[in-house]
Structure 1
Amino acid sequence: MKLKKIYDFLNEISPFELQEEWDNSGLLVGSFDNDVKKIYLTLDLDEEVIENAEENSLIIAHHPLIFKPLKNVVPTSFSTKLLVKLIQKNISFIAMHTNFDKTHLNRYVAEEVLGLKGESFDFVYTAEIDSDFDEFAEFVKEKLDLKCLKTVKCHKKIKKVALTTGAGMSLLPYIRADLFLTGDIKYHEAMDAKIRGISLMDIGHYESERFFVDVLYRDIKDLKVEIVKTNSKNPFFIK
Protein backbone atom coordinates (compact mmCIF):
# COMPACT_ATOMS: atom_id res chain seq x y z
CA MET A 1 0.00 0.00 0.00
CA LYS A 2 1.28 3.45 -0.84
CA LEU A 3 2.34 5.53 2.15
CA LYS A 4 0.24 8.41 0.88
CA LYS A 5 -2.92 6.31 1.14
CA ILE A 6 -2.10 5.37 4.73
CA TYR A 7 -1.30 8.98 5.59
CA ASP A 8 -4.58 10.20 4.11
CA PHE A 9 -6.51 7.64 6.15
CA LEU A 10 -4.76 8.73 9.36
CA ASN A 11 -5.51 12.34 8.49
CA GLU A 12 -9.20 11.48 8.18
CA ILE A 13 -9.50 9.87 11.61
CA SER A 14 -7.31 12.43 13.38
CA PRO A 15 -6.54 15.51 11.24
CA PHE A 16 -2.91 16.60 11.49
CA GLU A 17 -4.03 20.23 11.29
CA LEU A 18 -5.31 19.88 14.86
CA GLN A 19 -1.79 19.60 16.24
CA GLU A 20 -0.36 22.42 18.34
CA GLU A 21 1.97 24.97 16.75
CA TRP A 22 4.95 23.66 18.72
CA ASP A 23 4.24 20.05 17.74
CA ASN A 24 5.72 18.13 14.80
CA SER A 25 3.20 15.45 13.89
CA GLY A 26 2.87 14.02 10.39
CA LEU A 27 5.31 12.34 8.03
CA LEU A 28 8.81 12.90 9.44
CA VAL A 29 10.81 10.29 7.53
CA GLY A 30 10.10 8.74 4.13
CA SER A 31 8.32 9.47 0.87
CA PHE A 32 4.62 9.41 0.08
CA ASP A 33 5.52 7.23 -2.91
CA ASN A 34 6.93 4.44 -0.71
CA ASP A 35 5.24 1.04 -0.86
CA VAL A 36 4.47 -0.15 2.67
CA LYS A 37 3.99 -3.84 3.43
CA LYS A 38 4.07 -3.68 7.22
CA ILE A 39 3.14 -1.07 9.84
CA TYR A 40 4.49 -1.01 13.39
CA LEU A 41 2.64 0.88 16.14
CA THR A 42 4.48 2.21 19.19
CA LEU A 43 4.23 4.94 21.80
CA ASP A 44 7.82 6.08 21.20
CA LEU A 45 10.71 5.25 18.95
CA ASP A 46 13.60 3.47 20.60
CA GLU A 47 16.44 1.33 19.28
CA GLU A 48 14.66 -1.95 19.97
CA VAL A 49 11.57 -0.93 18.01
CA ILE A 50 13.67 0.03 14.98
CA GLU A 51 15.87 -3.06 15.17
CA ASN A 52 12.83 -5.34 15.23
CA ALA A 53 11.15 -3.57 12.33
CA GLU A 54 11.61 -4.90 8.80
CA GLU A 55 13.21 -2.82 6.08
CA ASN A 56 10.89 -0.75 3.87
CA SER A 57 8.23 -0.67 6.58
CA LEU A 58 6.38 2.16 8.37
CA ILE A 59 6.47 3.03 12.06
CA ILE A 60 3.65 5.11 13.53
CA ALA A 61 4.41 6.54 16.97
CA HIS A 62 2.67 8.94 19.31
CA HIS A 63 5.67 11.14 20.05
CA PRO A 64 7.64 12.85 17.25
CA LEU A 65 11.31 12.04 16.83
CA ILE A 66 12.16 15.60 15.75
CA PHE A 67 10.88 18.73 17.49
CA LYS A 68 13.56 21.33 16.80
CA PRO A 69 15.40 21.93 13.49
CA LEU A 70 18.48 19.72 13.11
CA LYS A 71 21.84 21.26 12.17
CA ASN A 72 23.35 17.88 11.34
CA VAL A 73 22.49 14.18 11.24
CA VAL A 74 25.50 12.94 13.19
CA PRO A 75 24.41 10.09 15.53
CA THR A 76 25.42 11.76 18.78
CA SER A 77 21.94 12.47 20.16
CA PHE A 78 18.76 10.47 20.72
CA SER A 79 16.93 11.86 17.69
CA THR A 80 19.81 11.84 15.20
CA LYS A 81 20.96 8.34 16.19
CA LEU A 82 17.49 6.91 15.60
CA LEU A 83 17.05 8.99 12.45
CA VAL A 84 20.17 7.43 10.93
CA LYS A 85 18.88 3.95 11.79
CA LEU A 86 15.53 4.68 10.12
CA ILE A 87 17.18 5.90 6.94
CA GLN A 88 19.59 2.96 6.82
CA LYS A 89 16.65 0.54 6.88
CA ASN A 90 14.45 2.69 4.65
CA ILE A 91 11.80 2.82 7.35
CA SER A 92 9.22 5.59 7.09
CA PHE A 93 8.02 7.34 10.23
CA ILE A 94 4.77 9.11 11.08
CA ALA A 95 3.99 10.80 14.41
CA MET A 96 0.45 11.35 15.70
CA HIS A 97 0.85 13.45 18.79
CA THR A 98 -1.28 16.38 19.95
CA ASN A 99 -3.84 15.82 17.20
CA PHE A 100 -4.40 12.27 18.46
CA ASP A 101 -4.56 13.44 22.08
CA LYS A 102 -7.45 15.68 21.15
CA THR A 103 -9.39 13.22 19.00
CA HIS A 104 -8.73 9.85 20.63
CA LEU A 105 -6.33 9.25 23.49
CA ASN A 106 -7.76 11.36 26.32
CA ARG A 107 -11.27 10.10 25.68
CA TYR A 108 -10.12 6.48 25.50
CA VAL A 109 -8.26 6.59 28.82
CA ALA A 110 -11.09 8.45 30.53
CA GLU A 111 -13.96 6.34 29.25
CA GLU A 112 -12.61 2.90 28.43
CA VAL A 113 -9.87 2.59 31.04
CA LEU A 114 -11.31 4.58 33.94
CA GLY A 115 -14.98 4.22 33.03
CA LEU A 116 -15.77 7.93 33.28
CA LYS A 117 -18.71 9.50 31.48
CA GLY A 118 -18.21 13.10 30.47
CA GLU A 119 -17.03 15.25 27.61
CA SER A 120 -13.76 16.10 25.89
CA PHE A 121 -12.71 19.58 24.83
CA ASP A 122 -9.33 20.14 23.25
CA PHE A 123 -6.80 18.45 25.61
CA VAL A 124 -9.06 18.09 28.66
CA TYR A 125 -11.67 15.44 29.43
CA THR A 126 -14.03 16.31 32.29
CA ALA A 127 -16.60 14.18 34.08
CA GLU A 128 -18.92 14.43 37.04
CA ILE A 129 -18.31 11.83 39.75
CA ASP A 130 -19.18 11.35 43.42
CA SER A 131 -16.28 9.69 45.14
CA ASP A 132 -14.12 9.75 48.22
CA PHE A 133 -10.64 11.02 47.28
CA ASP A 134 -8.74 8.09 48.78
CA GLU A 135 -11.08 5.50 47.27
CA PHE A 136 -10.81 7.11 43.85
CA ALA A 137 -7.02 7.19 44.16
CA GLU A 138 -6.97 3.42 44.73
CA PHE A 139 -9.32 2.94 41.79
CA VAL A 140 -7.09 5.00 39.46
CA LYS A 141 -3.98 3.20 40.67
CA GLU A 142 -5.54 -0.18 39.93
CA LYS A 143 -7.01 0.70 36.53
CA LEU A 144 -3.78 2.26 35.25
CA ASP A 145 -1.63 -0.43 36.89
CA LEU A 146 0.46 2.14 38.75
CA LYS A 147 3.07 0.96 41.25
CA CYS A 148 2.81 4.27 43.08
CA LEU A 149 0.59 7.32 42.88
CA LYS A 150 1.67 10.82 43.93
CA THR A 151 -1.24 13.01 44.98
CA VAL A 152 -2.10 16.50 46.16
CA LYS A 153 -5.20 16.28 48.32
CA CYS A 154 -7.33 19.41 48.56
CA HIS A 155 -10.70 17.66 48.81
CA LYS A 156 -12.04 14.69 50.75
CA LYS A 157 -14.86 14.30 48.24
CA ILE A 158 -14.49 14.62 44.48
CA LYS A 159 -17.43 15.89 42.46
CA LYS A 160 -15.72 16.77 39.19
CA VAL A 161 -12.58 15.31 37.64
CA ALA A 162 -10.47 16.48 34.69
CA LEU A 163 -7.96 14.35 32.78
CA THR A 164 -5.14 15.03 30.34
CA THR A 165 -2.83 12.18 29.38
CA GLY A 166 0.91 12.77 29.20
CA ALA A 167 2.15 16.05 30.68
CA GLY A 168 -0.75 18.46 31.14
CA MET A 169 0.20 20.78 34.00
CA SER A 170 0.54 23.75 31.64
CA LEU A 171 -3.26 23.55 31.44
CA LEU A 172 -3.74 24.03 35.19
CA PRO A 173 -5.01 27.64 34.93
CA TYR A 174 -7.86 26.39 32.73
CA ILE A 175 -8.91 23.43 34.85
CA ARG A 176 -12.35 23.78 36.41
CA ALA A 177 -12.56 20.62 38.49
CA ASP A 178 -11.91 19.35 42.01
CA LEU A 179 -9.31 16.88 40.76
CA PHE A 180 -6.90 16.91 37.82
CA LEU A 181 -5.36 13.67 36.55
CA THR A 182 -2.21 14.09 34.47
CA GLY A 183 1.46 13.11 34.39
CA ASP A 184 4.93 14.58 34.90
CA ILE A 185 3.83 16.82 37.76
CA LYS A 186 6.69 18.93 39.12
CA TYR A 187 7.13 20.13 42.69
CA HIS A 188 6.29 23.79 42.11
CA GLU A 189 3.37 22.83 39.87
CA ALA A 190 1.99 20.81 42.78
CA MET A 191 2.39 23.85 45.04
CA ASP A 192 0.53 25.96 42.48
CA ALA A 193 -2.34 23.47 42.33
CA LYS A 194 -2.58 23.38 46.11
CA ILE A 195 -2.89 27.17 46.28
CA ARG A 196 -5.60 27.03 43.60
CA GLY A 197 -7.46 24.35 45.56
CA ILE A 198 -7.18 21.74 42.83
CA SER A 199 -6.35 18.19 43.89
CA LEU A 200 -3.89 16.24 41.75
CA MET A 201 -3.05 12.65 40.91
CA ASP A 202 0.11 12.01 38.90
CA ILE A 203 -0.86 9.21 36.51
CA GLY A 204 2.52 9.18 34.75
CA HIS A 205 3.48 10.10 31.22
CA TYR A 206 4.23 6.64 29.86
CA GLU A 207 1.58 5.00 32.03
CA SER A 208 -1.24 7.24 30.79
CA GLU A 209 -0.22 7.23 27.12
CA ARG A 210 0.86 3.61 26.59
CA PHE A 211 -2.67 2.91 25.32
CA PHE A 212 -1.87 4.75 22.07
CA VAL A 213 -1.04 1.48 20.32
CA ASP A 214 -4.36 -0.17 21.19
CA VAL A 215 -6.41 2.91 20.36
CA LEU A 216 -4.86 3.44 16.93
CA TYR A 217 -4.87 -0.26 16.08
CA ARG A 218 -8.63 -0.37 16.58
CA ASP A 219 -9.10 2.28 13.89
CA ILE A 220 -6.61 1.03 11.29
CA LYS A 221 -6.76 -2.76 11.72
CA ASP A 222 -8.83 -3.17 8.56
CA LEU A 223 -6.28 -1.54 6.29
CA LYS A 224 -5.00 -4.00 3.70
CA VAL A 225 -1.50 -4.11 5.13
CA GLU A 226 0.04 -6.12 7.98
CA ILE A 227 -0.03 -4.25 11.29
CA VAL A 228 2.18 -5.13 14.25
CA LYS A 229 1.46 -3.84 17.75
CA THR A 230 4.74 -3.21 19.54
CA ASN A 231 5.70 -0.64 22.14
CA SER A 232 8.69 1.23 23.45
CA LYS A 233 9.93 0.54 26.96
CA ASN A 234 9.36 2.89 29.87
CA PRO A 235 12.80 4.43 30.60
CA PHE A 236 11.92 4.60 34.32
CA PHE A 237 12.03 1.59 36.62
CA ILE A 238 10.12 1.99 39.91
CA LYS A 239 11.19 -0.23 42.80
Structure 2
Amino acid sequence: MSRLSEIYDYIDSFAPFSLQLEWDNSGILVNCGECVISKALVTLDITAEVLNEAIDGKYDLIVSHHPVIFGSLSALTEKTPAAICFKNGISVISAHTNYDLSPIGVNKVLAQKLNLHNVVSSNDSCFMIGELDNPMTSDMFSEYVSKCLSAHLRYNDCTKEIKTVAVCGGAGSDFASDAKKAGADALVTGDGKYHEFLDATDEEILLVSAGHYETEFPAVVSLCKLLEDKFKDIQFKVAEQKTPIKNI
Protein backbone atom coordinates (compact mmCIF):
# COMPACT_ATOMS: atom_id res chain seq x y z
CA MET A 1 0.00 0.00 0.00
CA SER A 2 1.51 3.31 -1.12
CA ARG A 3 1.68 6.45 0.99
CA LEU A 4 2.01 10.17 0.31
CA SER A 5 5.76 10.30 1.02
CA GLU A 6 6.43 7.47 -1.43
CA ILE A 7 4.69 9.33 -4.25
CA TYR A 8 6.63 12.49 -3.38
CA ASP A 9 9.91 10.55 -3.35
CA TYR A 10 9.18 9.01 -6.75
CA ILE A 11 8.45 12.38 -8.36
CA ASP A 12 11.59 13.71 -6.67
CA SER A 13 13.62 10.93 -8.34
CA PHE A 14 13.04 12.33 -11.86
CA ALA A 15 12.08 15.93 -11.05
CA PRO A 16 14.05 16.89 -7.91
CA PHE A 17 12.14 19.40 -5.82
CA SER A 18 15.48 20.92 -4.78
CA LEU A 19 15.91 22.19 -8.36
CA GLN A 20 12.74 24.31 -8.38
CA LEU A 21 13.33 27.98 -9.12
CA GLU A 22 13.65 30.39 -6.22
CA TRP A 23 10.22 31.97 -6.73
CA ASP A 24 8.41 28.63 -7.01
CA ASN A 25 6.48 26.70 -4.36
CA SER A 26 6.57 23.04 -5.31
CA GLY A 27 6.30 20.10 -2.93
CA ILE A 28 3.72 18.63 -0.56
CA LEU A 29 1.53 21.71 -0.14
CA VAL A 30 -1.44 20.06 1.58
CA ASN A 31 -0.62 17.21 3.94
CA CYS A 32 -3.55 15.29 5.37
CA GLY A 33 -1.29 12.78 7.07
CA GLU A 34 0.76 9.79 6.03
CA CYS A 35 -2.27 7.72 5.13
CA VAL A 36 -2.58 5.14 2.38
CA ILE A 37 -3.39 6.71 -1.02
CA SER A 38 -5.95 4.81 -3.09
CA LYS A 39 -7.11 7.36 -5.68
CA ALA A 40 -5.25 10.34 -7.17
CA LEU A 41 -6.13 13.03 -9.71
CA VAL A 42 -3.38 14.52 -11.88
CA THR A 43 -4.03 18.02 -13.19
CA LEU A 44 -2.48 21.18 -14.58
CA ASP A 45 -4.42 23.45 -12.20
CA ILE A 46 -6.59 22.94 -9.15
CA THR A 47 -9.73 24.71 -10.32
CA ALA A 48 -13.21 24.64 -8.81
CA GLU A 49 -14.17 21.97 -11.33
CA VAL A 50 -11.16 19.83 -10.43
CA LEU A 51 -11.97 20.21 -6.73
CA ASN A 52 -15.53 19.06 -7.34
CA GLU A 53 -14.26 16.07 -9.31
CA ALA A 54 -11.86 15.16 -6.51
CA ILE A 55 -14.48 15.49 -3.77
CA ASP A 56 -17.24 13.69 -5.68
CA GLY A 57 -14.85 10.91 -6.68
CA LYS A 58 -13.49 10.54 -3.13
CA TYR A 59 -9.87 11.09 -4.16
CA ASP A 60 -7.13 11.09 -1.49
CA LEU A 61 -4.57 13.04 -3.51
CA ILE A 62 -4.24 15.66 -6.22
CA VAL A 63 -0.94 15.93 -8.08
CA SER A 64 -0.86 19.31 -9.81
CA HIS A 65 1.64 21.07 -12.02
CA HIS A 66 0.80 24.61 -10.92
CA PRO A 67 1.09 25.03 -7.14
CA VAL A 68 -2.12 25.22 -5.13
CA ILE A 69 -0.42 27.74 -2.82
CA PHE A 70 1.47 30.35 -4.80
CA GLY A 71 2.31 34.03 -5.12
CA SER A 72 0.55 36.48 -2.88
CA LEU A 73 -1.61 34.01 -0.93
CA SER A 74 -1.26 35.08 2.70
CA ALA A 75 -4.41 33.72 4.34
CA LEU A 76 -6.78 30.78 3.99
CA THR A 77 -10.58 30.94 3.85
CA GLU A 78 -13.20 28.26 3.37
CA LYS A 79 -13.12 29.04 -0.38
CA THR A 80 -9.35 28.76 -0.79
CA PRO A 81 -8.52 25.63 -2.85
CA ALA A 82 -5.87 24.48 -0.38
CA ALA A 83 -8.31 24.80 2.53
CA ILE A 84 -11.02 22.93 0.61
CA CYS A 85 -8.56 20.12 -0.07
CA PHE A 86 -7.56 19.86 3.59
CA LYS A 87 -11.16 19.98 4.78
CA ASN A 88 -12.00 17.07 2.48
CA GLY A 89 -8.96 14.99 3.33
CA ILE A 90 -7.25 15.53 -0.02
CA SER A 91 -3.48 15.94 0.08
CA VAL A 92 -1.73 17.92 -2.68
CA ILE A 93 1.66 17.51 -4.29
CA SER A 94 2.57 20.27 -6.75
CA ALA A 95 5.46 19.74 -9.17
CA HIS A 96 6.02 22.96 -11.09
CA THR A 97 9.42 24.25 -12.19
CA ASN A 98 11.15 21.07 -11.00
CA TYR A 99 9.02 19.20 -13.56
CA ASP A 100 9.66 21.93 -16.15
CA LEU A 101 13.41 21.40 -15.72
CA SER A 102 13.27 17.60 -15.62
CA PRO A 103 14.92 15.66 -18.48
CA ILE A 104 11.59 13.84 -18.91
CA GLY A 105 9.38 16.78 -17.97
CA VAL A 106 7.32 19.47 -19.67
CA ASN A 107 9.79 20.48 -22.36
CA LYS A 108 10.76 16.93 -23.29
CA VAL A 109 7.11 15.95 -23.73
CA LEU A 110 6.50 19.07 -25.84
CA ALA A 111 9.48 18.18 -28.05
CA GLN A 112 8.04 14.69 -28.47
CA LYS A 113 4.64 16.11 -29.46
CA LEU A 114 6.39 18.05 -32.24
CA ASN A 115 8.39 14.96 -33.29
CA LEU A 116 11.74 16.70 -32.80
CA HIS A 117 14.96 14.68 -33.05
CA ASN A 118 18.38 15.02 -31.40
CA VAL A 119 16.75 16.85 -28.48
CA VAL A 120 19.06 18.35 -25.85
CA SER A 121 18.54 20.70 -22.91
CA SER A 122 19.80 24.27 -22.85
CA ASN A 123 22.65 25.01 -20.45
CA ASP A 124 20.20 26.16 -17.76
CA SER A 125 17.62 23.46 -18.65
CA CYS A 126 14.95 26.15 -19.14
CA PHE A 127 14.24 25.02 -22.70
CA MET A 128 15.08 22.12 -25.00
CA ILE A 129 16.23 22.26 -28.59
CA GLY A 130 15.87 19.71 -31.38
CA GLU A 131 15.49 19.27 -35.13
CA LEU A 132 12.66 18.67 -37.57
CA ASP A 133 12.84 15.89 -40.14
CA ASN A 134 12.60 18.45 -42.93
CA PRO A 135 12.88 22.25 -43.07
CA MET A 136 9.65 24.26 -43.30
CA THR A 137 8.66 27.84 -43.95
CA SER A 138 7.48 29.77 -40.90
CA ASP A 139 3.85 29.54 -42.05
CA MET A 140 4.09 25.80 -42.69
CA PHE A 141 5.78 25.20 -39.35
CA SER A 142 3.22 27.26 -37.43
CA GLU A 143 0.42 25.30 -39.04
CA TYR A 144 2.25 22.09 -38.14
CA VAL A 145 2.50 23.16 -34.47
CA SER A 146 -1.19 24.04 -34.46
CA LYS A 147 -2.08 20.54 -35.66
CA CYS A 148 0.32 18.75 -33.30
CA LEU A 149 -1.04 20.56 -30.24
CA SER A 150 -4.62 21.14 -31.41
CA ALA A 151 -3.96 24.78 -30.62
CA HIS A 152 -4.89 28.24 -31.79
CA LEU A 153 -1.64 30.17 -31.96
CA ARG A 154 0.09 33.44 -32.74
CA TYR A 155 3.44 33.91 -34.45
CA ASN A 156 5.56 36.69 -35.88
CA ASP A 157 6.66 37.41 -39.42
CA CYS A 158 9.82 35.41 -40.11
CA THR A 159 11.28 34.71 -43.54
CA LYS A 160 13.94 32.19 -42.56
CA GLU A 161 13.61 28.44 -43.02
CA ILE A 162 12.74 26.51 -39.86
CA LYS A 163 14.82 23.42 -39.08
CA THR A 164 16.12 23.75 -35.51
CA VAL A 165 13.41 24.32 -32.90
CA ALA A 166 13.52 25.29 -29.23
CA VAL A 167 10.59 24.45 -26.94
CA CYS A 168 9.58 25.85 -23.57
CA GLY A 169 6.16 24.94 -22.22
CA GLY A 170 4.14 27.62 -20.47
CA ALA A 171 5.49 31.16 -20.12
CA GLY A 172 8.79 30.94 -21.99
CA SER A 173 8.75 33.68 -24.62
CA ASP A 174 11.50 35.58 -22.80
CA PHE A 175 13.90 32.78 -23.81
CA ALA A 176 13.66 33.66 -27.52
CA SER A 177 16.99 35.47 -27.55
CA ASP A 178 18.73 32.63 -25.69
CA ALA A 179 17.15 30.11 -28.07
CA LYS A 180 18.47 32.11 -31.03
CA LYS A 181 21.97 32.10 -29.53
CA ALA A 182 21.69 28.33 -29.06
CA GLY A 183 21.07 27.93 -32.78
CA ALA A 184 17.27 27.73 -32.90
CA ASP A 185 15.31 29.02 -35.87
CA ALA A 186 12.09 29.00 -33.84
CA LEU A 187 10.88 28.93 -30.24
CA VAL A 188 7.57 27.24 -29.43
CA THR A 189 6.14 28.30 -26.10
CA GLY A 190 2.84 28.96 -24.39
CA ASP A 191 2.58 32.71 -23.88
CA GLY A 192 3.94 35.56 -25.97
CA LYS A 193 3.74 39.32 -25.43
CA TYR A 194 3.50 42.00 -28.13
CA HIS A 195 6.99 43.42 -27.63
CA GLU A 196 8.50 39.94 -27.49
CA PHE A 197 7.09 39.29 -30.97
CA LEU A 198 8.68 42.58 -32.10
CA ASP A 199 12.02 41.57 -30.61
CA ALA A 200 11.81 38.11 -32.16
CA THR A 201 11.22 39.63 -35.58
CA ASP A 202 14.24 41.91 -35.17
CA GLU A 203 16.38 38.95 -34.08
CA GLU A 204 15.11 36.82 -36.98
CA ILE A 205 13.71 34.00 -34.88
CA LEU A 206 10.19 32.64 -35.19
CA LEU A 207 8.26 32.96 -31.92
CA VAL A 208 5.23 30.66 -31.77
CA SER A 209 2.78 31.25 -28.92
CA ALA A 210 0.63 28.11 -28.79
CA GLY A 211 -1.09 28.52 -25.41
CA HIS A 212 -0.07 27.87 -21.83
CA TYR A 213 -2.49 24.98 -21.40
CA GLU A 214 -1.75 23.48 -24.82
CA THR A 215 2.03 23.40 -24.30
CA GLU A 216 1.89 21.98 -20.76
CA PHE A 217 -1.12 19.67 -20.64
CA PRO A 218 0.61 16.84 -22.60
CA ALA A 219 3.15 16.65 -19.76
CA VAL A 220 0.30 16.23 -17.25
CA VAL A 221 -0.87 13.18 -19.20
CA SER A 222 2.72 11.88 -19.24
CA LEU A 223 3.08 12.43 -15.49
CA CYS A 224 -0.11 10.50 -14.84
CA LYS A 225 1.24 7.58 -16.90
CA LEU A 226 4.53 7.60 -15.00
CA LEU A 227 2.70 7.45 -11.67
CA GLU A 228 0.27 4.82 -12.92
CA ASP A 229 3.10 2.56 -14.04
CA LYS A 230 4.95 2.93 -10.74
CA PHE A 231 2.08 2.60 -8.25
CA LYS A 232 -0.13 -0.28 -9.36
CA ASP A 233 -2.20 -0.11 -6.15
CA ILE A 234 -3.37 3.47 -6.79
CA GLN A 235 -6.06 4.54 -9.24
CA PHE A 236 -4.68 7.54 -11.15
CA LYS A 237 -6.74 9.72 -13.48
CA VAL A 238 -6.12 12.90 -15.48
CA ALA A 239 -8.61 15.48 -14.22
CA GLU A 240 -11.39 16.72 -16.50
CA GLN A 241 -9.82 20.15 -17.00
CA LYS A 242 -9.93 22.28 -20.13
CA THR A 243 -8.28 25.56 -21.03
CA PRO A 244 -10.20 28.57 -19.66
CA ILE A 245 -9.41 30.54 -22.83
CA LYS A 246 -11.93 30.75 -25.66
CA ASN A 247 -11.05 31.73 -29.24
CA ILE A 248 -13.27 33.17 -31.97
Please indicate, yes or no, whether the TM-score normalized by the shorter chain is above 0.5: yes
Q: Which residue of 1 aligns with 2:116?
A: 116
Task: List gaps (5 residues or longer) in structure 2.
Answer: none
State the Cα distance separating 1:97 from its structure 2 match: 0.9
Q: Which residue of 1 aligns with 2:205?
A: 198
Q: Name the amino acid aligned to 1:98.
A: T
State the Cα distance separating 1:55 from its structure 2 match: 4.3
Q: Which residue of 2 aligns with 1:39?
A: 40
Matched, 1:58 2:58: no
Q: Name the amino acid aligned to 2:220.
A: V
1:154 to 145, 158, 161: 158
State the Cα distance separating 1:31 from its structure 2 match: 4.3
State the Cα distance separating 1:155 from its structure 2 match: 2.5
Contact residue 61 and residue 95 of structure 1 kept, 8 A: yes
Q: Name the amino acid aligned to 1:154.
A: C
State the Cα distance separating 1:56 from its structure 2 match: 6.1
Q: Which residue of 1 aligns with 2:94?
A: 95
Q: Name the amino acid aligned to 1:196.
A: E
Structure 1 residues 71 and 230, CA gap change in structure 2 (3 angstroms): closer
Distance 1:74 1:17 in 2: 29
Distance 2:247 2:197 in 1: 21
Identical amino acids, percent of aligned pairs: 35
Distance 2:168 2:11 in 1: 22
In structure 1, the residue corresponding to 2:25 is in which secondary structure? coil
Q: Which residue of 2 aligns with 1:210?
A: 217
Distance 1:7 1:81 in 2: 23
Q: Name the amino acid aligned to 1:230.
A: A
How many residues align? The count is 233
State the Cα distance separating 1:213 from its structure 2 match: 2.5
Distance 1:26 1:159 in 2: 37
Q: Which residue of 2 aligns with 1:85?
A: 84
Report the TM-score, using the length of structure 1 for normalisation.
0.90
**Aligned pairs (5 A) from 1:17-28:** 17-28=18-29
Structure 1 residues 197 and 219, CA gap change in structure 2 (3 angstroms): same
Distance 2:203 2:43 in 1: 36
Distance 1:218 1:91 in 2: 20
Q: Which residue of 1 aligns with 2:141?
A: 136
Distance 1:70 1:163 in 2: 30
Contact residue 43 and residue 63 of structure 1 kept, 8 A: yes
Once the two structures are overlaid, the 10-residue window that deviates more, 28-37 or 186-195, is: 28-37
Structure 1 residues 12 and 32, CA gap change in structure 2 (3 angstroms): farther
In structure 2, the residue corresponding to 1:10 is in which secondary structure? helix
Task: List gaps (5 residues or longer) in structure 1.
Answer: none
Contact residue 67 and residue 95 of structure 2 kept, 8 A: yes
Report the TM-score, using the length of structure 2 for normalisation.
0.87
Q: Which residue of 2 aligns with 1:49?
A: 50
Contact residue 57 and residue 91 of structure 1 kept, 8 A: yes
Q: Name the amino acid aligned to 2:11.
A: L
Structure 1 residues 213 and 141, CA gap change in structure 2 (3 angstroms): same
In structure 1, the residue corresponding to 2:9 is in which secondary structure? helix
Distance 2:127 2:72 in 1: 29
